Structure 1
Amino acid sequence: MRTGPGDRTQQPDAATGHSKEPSLRTASPRRYLMCPPTHFEVTYSINPWMDPAKPVDRRLALTQWEELRRTYLSLGHDVELLEPRAGLPDMVFAANGATVVDGRVLGARFAHPQRAPEAAAAREWFAAHGFPDIRLPEHVNEGEGDFAVTANLVLAGRGFRASPESHAEAQEFFGRPVVGLDLVDPRFYHLDTALCVLDDAVDGADAGVMYYPGAFSPGSRKVLARLFPEALVATEADALAFGLNAVSDGRNVLLPQAATGLFAPLRERGYEPVGLDLDELLKGGGSVKCCTLEIRA
């Protein structure tokens, strides 16, 4: 089940006192890589959300994943498919396999051996689909789990998975400034669980973002406040509902429907929140963004 734009919250006009519609933002077509949860299960625990004692309904996981894919297609986006491989239950979280900027592919190097073979599978897909510039990384990074791309910057998480050295490696490869952000709460073990880029640029600013301050160190919170003074600041409840593990095309923001506190603030900023139920996949510690690798070609 998903909740679409629906009724929009109208804002009072300062001059007339009458309600008016907030200005809608503009969506841009995107290209995504996804991997079906054909082999999804939780047989080990490498983040606080994974509990092998809790049974997984693989059929339900596939149904929820398929609804996400169909939603992208209905919004006019292209979805490419990465073939799932037996023995790699976390391949459904395709965002971790690489980071793509300007057609250049920085591969992943996973922190845990259980996921290590996923990196080669992603690189092989990009090589087979005409991407000539693919880098095998020297340092640990888990793709878009810890790299968030804006028009001018790459925001990079560290503290639980990605190594600090991976930030310099990404900056040299992509030729874009990389801003390191320290994650301090293990529940938000990847940057994409604590921050979402909503659009590339707004009125000359670098980007619109939403994030949960409690996931970051005091210094990183100050950096975020300086870079994004107009950011949407999420509550702990919405962050724990994985509301920040979201995907935006500049207008439509796909996010877990349980993150109810984010819907009105997004509408007030001119975005269209689209709520989805991916609770079965959350048993593996991922939601909308984890399932979605953006191919920025």
Structure 2
Amino acid sequence: MPSTTFLVQNPSEVMPVEMALFMEADPPYDPGRAAEESAALRAALAAHGTVVSVREGLASAGRDEIVRLAGQAVGADDPERREGVRRAFAQWPPSDLIDIVLRRPRLELHADAELAAISPDAAYESYVLRPLFGLMFPRDHYADLGGAVALGRIRRRDRARETAVMEVLLHRLRGRPADLVPPDGRYLEGGDVAVTERLAVLGCGFRTSPESTGPLVGHLLTDGRDVIEVHDGLRRPEEFHLDHWLCLGPGLALVAEERLDSPAVTAVRHRRDAPAGPPVGLRRALEETGTRIVPLSRAQIGRFAANAFFVPGRPVAVTPTAAYDDVAPLLDKHGIEVVAVPFDEHHKQFGSVHCAVNTLSTSTDRITTEEEA
């Protein structure tokens, strides 16, 4: 029986604690509190479906697949060390191999004349980690189109390698690969895709190429769903994706009010029974679909009020505690229960609840735990 699977990642599993030392947050980023925030989010979602992390999903994959990913993750200046790596792969348990996949270690050798005079074949060694830290926000890596899945292609070079891991995870959880894959040179990030039963909004801004949204439209124009393509010319700093300033709920949209009538923000509406119309303002495009607009101020956007997560098929929204007083009164009148979770540590990395959750329509028997594997 199909059900919703929620993908939520504990940051501490993909982000070594040392990374927190180099963040400029004030007060400093707290890895322990960030892990507690993810646990609170999992607890809030557990009543509505299966919750799985990236690590748990990888643990249910086949050993050969994990070894392949680990082989891609390891780097070494000395090719002769590869034989030792292969022996380790053959013997190590899956949990240790998954650490390799997520942390991406590399051996670097540093020549030194003084050391060479004593031991000609020796060099100083250092061990570098290149962790897949962005997996703490699994929203970016793919878009759930309500049946079909579009694999993402992340624009940032330091995060692009995360998608290979998510591709394996999606195949495992769904039992089949992603339905759409952007070609090289075109970028698609899940934070720029908002989908409900009757409406989808696709954003072209910082991270998603305009050419990437076109192939999604055909998949989304089903079951009477309208599609709105938005070209965001404002490009506010630290608002990387559509979901920083727009969130779709049942028949409504939380939207930054500054974008509703801005000439820098244009929207094109697609309908199944008519050709696409000309670009119009965002307010007009939403109103033409019968969507109730809930405008949000700049201050509310700064508290991540538009980065709420609406549970599919339920009148429930999960929001960060920092935005609860902004969101709850707006949604209570529409019969939507608002559940708040602490998320201040995640905010220091410019992401919130919606960024930290992604969904799949799947059967629960596809998920196995690391212990079962």
Determine the C-alpha separation between the residues in 1 that align with 2:199 and 2:294: 18
Select between 221-230 and 238-247 the one with higher mean Cα deviation.
Answer: 221-230
Describe the SS at the equivalent of 2:292.
Answer: coil
1:160 equivalent to 2:211? Answer no
Change (3 A) 1:160 1:215: farther
1:36 equivalent to 2:10? Answer yes
Change (3 A) 1:242 1:92: same
User: CA shift at 1:268, angstroms?
Assistant: 1.3
Does structure 1 retain, via aligned residues, the 8 Å contact 2:220–2:227?
Answer: no
In structure 2, give the amino acid aligned to 1:171. V
Does structure 1 retain, via aligned residues, the 8 Å contact 2:9–2:38?
Answer: no
Deviation per CA, 1:127-166, whole angstroms, max 9, x where unpaired? 12243241321220112x0000122332111121101111
Larger radius of gyration: 2
Does structure 2 retain, via aligned residues, the 8 Å contact 1:32–1:80?
Answer: yes
1:141 equivalent to 2:200? Answer no
1:227 equivalent to 2:199? Answer no
In structure 1, give the amino acid aligned to 2:216. A
Describe the SS at the equivalent of 1:115.
Answer: coil
User: CA shift at 1:100, angstroms?
Assistant: 2.1
Determine the C-alpha separation between the residues in 1 that align with 2:148 and 2:285: 27
Aligned to 2:246: 195
Instruction: Spell out structure 1 runs of 4+ moving beyond 4 A.
Output: 41-44, 173-177
Determine the C-alpha separation between the residues in 2 that align with 1:42 and 1:270: 41
Aligned to 1:242: 304
Does structure 1 retain, via aligned residues, the 8 Å contact 2:5–2:52?
Answer: yes
Deviation per CA, 1:27-49, whole angstroms, max 9, x where unpaired? xx6321122102337999xxxxx
Does structure 2 retain, via aligned residues, the 8 Å contact 1:234–1:262?
Answer: no
Determine the C-alpha separation between the residues in 2 that align with 1:71 and 1:229: 27
Q: Work out which of the residue numbers 20, 28, 31 in structure 2 matches 1:58.
A: 31
1:258 equivalent to 2:311? Answer no
Aligned to 2:91: none
Point out which structure has higher relative CO (alpha carbons under 8 A, 6+ apart).
Answer: 1
User: CA shift at 1:196, angstroms?
Assistant: 1.3
Determine the C-alpha separation between the residues in 2 that align with 1:194 and 1:119: 24
Aligned to 2:156: 112
Aligned to 1:296: 361
Aligned to 1:11: none
Computed over aligned residues only, the root mean square deviation of the Cα atoms, in angstroms, reads: 2.5
User: CA shift at 1:174, angstroms?
Assistant: 4.8
Aligned to 1:8: none
Change (3 A) 1:41 1:261: farther
User: CA shift at 1:189, angstroms?
Assistant: 2.1
Determine the C-alpha separation between the residues in 1 that align with 2:212 and 2:34: 32
TM-score (norm 2): 0.63
**Percent identity for Structure 1 against Structure 2:** 26
Change (3 A) 1:132 1:80: same
Does structure 2 retain, via aligned residues, the 8 Å contact 1:242–1:256?
Answer: yes
Describe the SS at the equivalent of 2:217.
Answer: helix
Q: Work out which of the residue numbers 63, 81, 88 in structure 1 matches 2:53.
A: 81
In structure 2, give the amino acid aligned to 1:168. G
Determine the C-alpha separation between the residues in 1 that align with 2:303 and 2:41: 17
1:281 equivalent to 2:346? Answer yes
Structure 2: gaps spanning 5 or more residues: 56-98, 104-130, 264-280, 363-373
Change (3 A) 1:296 1:212: farther
TM-score (norm 1): 0.78
Aligned to 2:109: none
Change (3 A) 1:215 1:186: farther
Change (3 A) 1:237 1:42: farther
